[in-house]
Structure 1
Amino acid sequence: MKYIVSFISAFLMFVTFGCTMEMPNVTQETKVETSSNETNANKEMSVHFIDVGQGDSILIQSPEGKNMLIDGGKKEKGKDVVTYLRQQGVEKLEYVVATHPDSDHIGGLLAVLNSVTIKNFVDSGKEHTTETYEKMLQLILDKHIPFIVPNTGDTIHLDSDLEITVLHTREDANDNNEASIVLKVQYEEVSFLLTGDADTGVEKSMLNEYDLKSTVLKAGHHGSDTSSSDAFIREVHRK
C-alpha cells in the first residue's frame, strides 16, 4: 500500500490547526494517489479547496470520476466556483452539499445551480429566512433536484471506492453553525475530515461517537476560536 498526499504545507497548517495567516490568491488542491495493487494503481481521488475568500467551497473528484461539491462561498464568488469546475472538466455533480445556511457557504451555490447539472442536493435542513436561502430552495424545486436531509451516521454513496460518512448534522440546532454537516471522506488509508462551521460543542458530541483520526482536517468555522478545541485536535491527529 502506498499513498501520496501532495499539499502546500502552509495551507495544511491552516486547515489543520486553524492558524491565522494571509493566504495566496490561488486555489489550493490536495491530490491523493493511492494504490494497493495493480487494479487500483491508476485510481486517484482529488480534493480541491477552492479559493472563495472568507467562505468554504470544496470539490471532491472520486476515483471513478464522480464529483461532489461541498459549499460554494459567498454569492459574488459563485462565478469563480463555476469557472473552476469547468476548468476541472466538471459537467455534472452527483452531489452538492450545503453544510449549513450561512451566506458564505451557500451564496455561490446559486450560480452553481444555474450552471451545472446536479443529481442530488444535500442540506442540513436548518431553516433560514434569508433571500439567498429562499432563492436556493426555489432553484432546487424548479429544477426538480432531489433534496436530501441526512441523519447523523448516514453514508453518501458517491463512489464504490470511497466511504463518506455524515458524522454530524442537526436541523433543529439553535444556530446555523451548530447545524453544520460534518463529513469524513475515506479512501483506503487517506481520510479527510470536513467540518463546515462546526463549533466546539459539535466537536465534543463527536469525540466519543466516531473515529475522528484523519489525514487532513478542514478546520471548523474558518479556523476561528469557536472551533478546533485541543481535545478535538488531539483525537484527529492521534497516532
Structure 2
Amino acid sequence: MVTTNNHAILVDAGPPTMGDSLVRYLRRHSVSHLDFVIATHPHADHIGGLSTLFAEKSVDTLLCAYHPHTTQTYENYVAAAKHAHIPRVAARRGDSYHRENLHIEILHPDTLWGSLNNGSVVARLSIGAHTMLLTGDAEKEVEEELLKHTPDALYAPVLKVGHHGSNSSSTHEFLAAVAPRIALIQCGKNSPYGHPHPRALRRIHATGADIFSTAQHGSIRLKGVPHNRWRLIPEHPYPPLEPLP
C-alpha cells in the first residue's frame, strides 16, 4: 500500500484468506478510500483478498493485467468489482495516472503474454521525488523487455522484488539498472516454493541493497524522508536478510 496525506494506492491483496486481515489493516491506518488498486495478475495469491476489500472499501479505479483467468477466485474478484461499480482498466505500457504529487507509470505489459506471471503489471510509483518499482511476478523475460523498452524508467531506490524472490527473476542486468537501496520481498514463512531463492538473494545483495522480507520482518512500511530517501518501518525489527555463503 502507498499513501500520501490525501491519497492511497493498494497493489495486490494476497490470497482469499487475507481479505479480512487486509480490511483490518486499512482500518487501523485510517484508510477508508483507495484511489487505485493495482491487481498485477490473476493468480489467487495476488487477487484473492480483493473480493472482501471491494465489499468494504470504496475504490476509484482498478488497474489490472490484460490476462483473464478461469479460476473461481478470479470470477469472484471480477464479480465483486462489478458489484461495487469499480471500473476495471487494463494497464498498458505508456499509461500514467496522477493524484497531486502521486504518480503511477505503467512499464509493462504492452500485449498479452503466454504466462500469467509475465503478464504482470510492472509500475513505477513516485511520490514527489521518492520512487519505487513494483514488479508483480514478472520474470527474467519481462526484465529483458523492460531493459529494452524502458531502461531510463527502471532506476528506483525501492524495488519490490519480482516473483517473491524466485530465481527466475532479479537478473544481474536488471538489478544494475534499478540500483535499489532497499529490496522488498513478499513471501510467506517456510515457503513451499523455496522463496526467496538463495541465488536471487545473492544477486540482490551484490547491489548493496538492504533486503527485507515479509516472512522475516512482517508488515513493512516505508516513509519518505528528506533528500529523496526512505525510512523503513518493519513490524519485526530484525536486521536485513543476508544470503547464505
TM-score normalised to the size of structure 2? 0.70
Matched, 1:127 2:68: yes
SS at match of 2:53: helix
Other-structure match for 1:118 = 59
Amino acid at match of 1:164: I
Instruction: Provide Cα deviations, 1:175-204, integer angstroms capped at 9, x if missing partner.
Output: 110110001012333210000001000011
1:180 to 1:186, Cα distance in 2 relative to 1, 3 A: same
Q: Is the 8 A contact 1:93 1:119 kept in 2?
A: yes
Q: Is the 8 A contact 1:96 1:121 kept in 2?
A: yes
Other-structure match for 1:105 = 46
Amino acid at match of 1:61: T
Quick one: distance in 2 between partners of 1:100 and 1:200?
Answer: 16
Amino acid at match of 1:132: T
Quick one: distance in 1 between partners of 2:102 and 2:85?
Answer: 27
Q: Is the 8 A contact 1:67 1:93 kept in 2?
A: yes
Matched, 1:166 2:117: no
SS at match of 2:124: strand
Quick one: distance in 2 between partners of 1:100 and 1:120?
Answer: 16
Q: Is the 8 A contact 2:55 2:84 kept in 1?
A: no
State how many pairs are aligned: 179
Quick one: distance in 1 between partners of 2:80 and 2:18?
Answer: 18
Q: Is the 8 A contact 2:35 2:61 kept in 1?
A: yes
Matched, 1:204 2:144: yes
Other-structure match for 2:177 = 235
SS at match of 2:142: helix
Other-structure match for 1:88 = 29
SS at match of 1:104: helix
Quick one: distance in 1 between partners of 2:110 and 2:76?
Answer: 22
Amino acid at match of 1:192: M
Other-structure match for 2:155 = 213
The structure whose RCO (Cα within 8 Å, separation 6+) is larger is: 1
**Deviation of residue 171 (structure 1)?**
5.3
Matches within 5 A, 1:175-194: 175-194=115-134
**Deviation of residue 121 (structure 1)?**
1.0
Quick one: distance in 1 between partners of 2:94 and 2:157?
Answer: 20
Quick one: distance in 1 between partners of 2:20 and 2:60?
Answer: 20
**Deviation of residue 209 (structure 1)?**
2.3
Other-structure match for 1:49 = none
Amino acid at match of 2:25: Y
**Deviation of residue 125 (structure 1)?**
2.1
Q: Is the 8 A contact 2:51 2:81 kept in 1?
A: no
SS at match of 1:94: strand
| Structure 2 unmatched ranges of 5 or more | 181-206, 208-245
Decide which of 223, 229, 235 is 2:165's aligned counterpart. Answer: 223
Quick one: distance in 1 between partners of 2:18 and 2:171?
Answer: 30
Please report the RMSD computed on the Cα atoms of aligned residues, expressed in angstroms. 1.6
Quick one: distance in 2 between partners of 1:151 and 1:162?
Answer: 18
Q: Is the 8 A contact 2:34 2:58 kept in 1?
A: yes
1:216 to 1:96, Cα distance in 2 relative to 1, 3 A: same
Amino acid at match of 1:190: H
Decide which of 97, 100, 108 is 1:156's aligned counterpart. Answer: 97
Quick one: distance in 2 between partners of 1:73 and 1:171?
Answer: 25
Quick one: distance in 2 between partners of 1:176 and 1:61?
Answer: 27
Quick one: distance in 2 between partners of 1:139 and 1:189?
Answer: 35
Quick one: distance in 1 between partners of 2:37 and 2:102?
Answer: 16
Q: Is the 8 A contact 1:126 1:171 kept in 2?
A: no
Q: Is the 8 A contact 1:124 1:171 kept in 2?
A: no
**Deviation of residue 170 (structure 1)?**
4.8
